[in-house]
Amino acid sequence: MANAEDSVEAPDVGELTPPDRTLMGPGPSDVHPRVLRAMSTPLVGHLDPSFVEIMDEVQELLRYTFRTDNQWTIPVSGTGSAAMEAAIGNVVEPGDTMLVPTNGYFGGRMASMARRAGGEVVEVDAPWGEPLEPADVSDALAEHDPDVFGFVHAETSTGVLQPNVSELTAAAHDHDALVIADTVTSLGGVELRVDDWGIDVAYSGPQKCLSCPPGASPLTLSDEAMDKVLSRETDPRSWYLDLSLLEGYWGDERAYHHTAPITNVYAIREALRLVAEEGIENRWDRHERLAGALKAGVEAMGLEMNAPDDYWLPSLNAVRVPDGVDDGEVCDALIDQYDLEIASGLGDLEGEIFRIGCMGHSARPENVIYVVTALGDVLESMGADVDPGAGVTATRRALE
């Protein structure tokens, strides 16, 4: 029996009461009430027959959202970075060469993961804030003859959407390279066609355009990519993310591998149901229309977008910080005064841009008006040369 002198007072922690923010940053986005309700439903076991049916439904809904017929389409148990590491860590074998882009923060993360997998990393150069040029990709493929080519479809750090995807994948396939696409900020928000565009592997996160809490992250692999995974001579360095083992759980066998995050699977199922009910093409159109109103508002206010119209990313709007203000102070003021979240820049663009999301359930007219109004007010109060009224008027007209 413990001595009374050894007893420790229990922590006095109150009821959970997080602030009610409007999430218009680079993620997470606002979660739809139906998704929150789905997460409050009773747990079942991860091998329960009813949960196996739910697994099947999630896979079917993911195929619809990715626009793919790939059999190997699953939610990885973990955040988007887990799906990213599952993709790269399984497809890249020790000694393989992976070609990665230099045009944003998450291309750099691809490189880091490929090195950890034992791969040799080579680069196709493009400045931060610009897309990859097909000619540059073709030249890099010819020079390095990689086994794997990775690119970021929607670069969260710069607000750039990669155009000409089919040209990139065709060039890679001409060199017998598999293509891995980062679709974390594009899946469910902007046009993405995995099969039609010749993408072999795509990974994503649930907390952006799908408006789902992180915890079960989309991943899809073509038969060719999965054949490479299953014929590896060495095991992947991660047991937990080994797709040859996960195949036993998510494939026909339904054999135990790990305890799936059941509540998160409920959540992504409901989030994907919302995608299917809206229609994927309608959803792409909604994001473009509402983000277009946001873009019209910030430009009319006197601010400048970081990305030109040709490769503007509707789901993540990178807005140049005006002269004379500190981006961090603006973000803090929006939180303090408006319970509104946007974010500063990353990497090479740190301090130079605001990153304003327009994703999933956050992509609603009232949120777009709110962020333009609040941003204009805070910037004007800090002495920036902006016209908040013109911004709000332009946003309203665009929404009409």
Q: Which residues contact 99 (CB under 8 A, 6 or more apart)?
A: 122, 123, 124, 137, 140, 141, 144, 146, 148, 149, 150, 172, 177
Pair 324, 349 in one domain: yes
Specify burial of residue 34 (Cβ count, 10 A radius: 0-12, 13-18, 19+): middle
Cα gap 357→208, rounded to integer Å: 8
Same domain? 266 vs 337? no
* 138 and 266 housed in the same domain: yes
Q: Spell out a b/e string for 59-74, using b for 16 or more CB atoms within 10 Å of the CB, else e.
A: bebbbebbbbebbbbb
**Ordered strands of the 148-152 beta sheet:** 72-78, 215-221, 201-203, 178-182, 148-152, 97-101, 120-124
Please indicate, yes or no, whether residues 88 and 207 belong to a single structural domain of this protein: yes
Domain boundary (226, 244, 278) is at: 278
Whether residue 372 is contained in a domain is answered as yes
Domain boundary among 247, 278, 309: 278
Query: What is the DSSP secondary structure assignment for residue 118, as one 8-state letter?
Result: T
What tens-digit pLDDT sequence spans the chain (400 residues)?
566 567 889 999 999 999 999 999 999 999 999 999 999 999 999 989 999 999 999 999 999 999 999 999 999 999 999 999 999 999 999 999 999 999 999 999 999 999 999 999 999 999 999 999 999 999 999 999 999 999 999 999 999 999 999 999 999 999 999 999 999 999 999 999 999 999 999 999 999 999 999 999 999 999 999 999 999 999 999 999 999 999 989 988 888 999 999 999 999 999 999 999 999 999 999 999 999 999 999 999 999 999 999 999 999 999 999 999 999 999 999 999 999 999 999 999 999 999 999 999 999 999 999 999 999 999 999 999 999 999 999 999 999 9
pTM, rounded to two decimals: 0.96
What's the token pair of residue 288?
């473009």
Query: How many domains are contained in the chain?
Result: 2
Q: How confident is the model at residue 4, as a pLDDT?
A: 59
146 assigned to some structural domain: yes
Domain limits at 316? 280-399
Same domain, yes or no, for 316 and 384? yes
Residues 231, 370: one domain? no
Tell whether 206 and 285 lie within a shared domain.
no
- Among 254, 278, 302, identify where a domain stops: 278
Q: Is residue 373 in a domain?
A: yes
3-state secondary structure of 103: coil
Are residues 270 and 292 both part of a single domain? no
Residue with tokens 């590491």: 85
Closest listed residue to residue 18, CA positions, set 43, 6, 38, 36:
36
Residue 77 CA to residue 64 CA, distance in Å, equals 20
CB 267 within 8 A of CB 213: yes
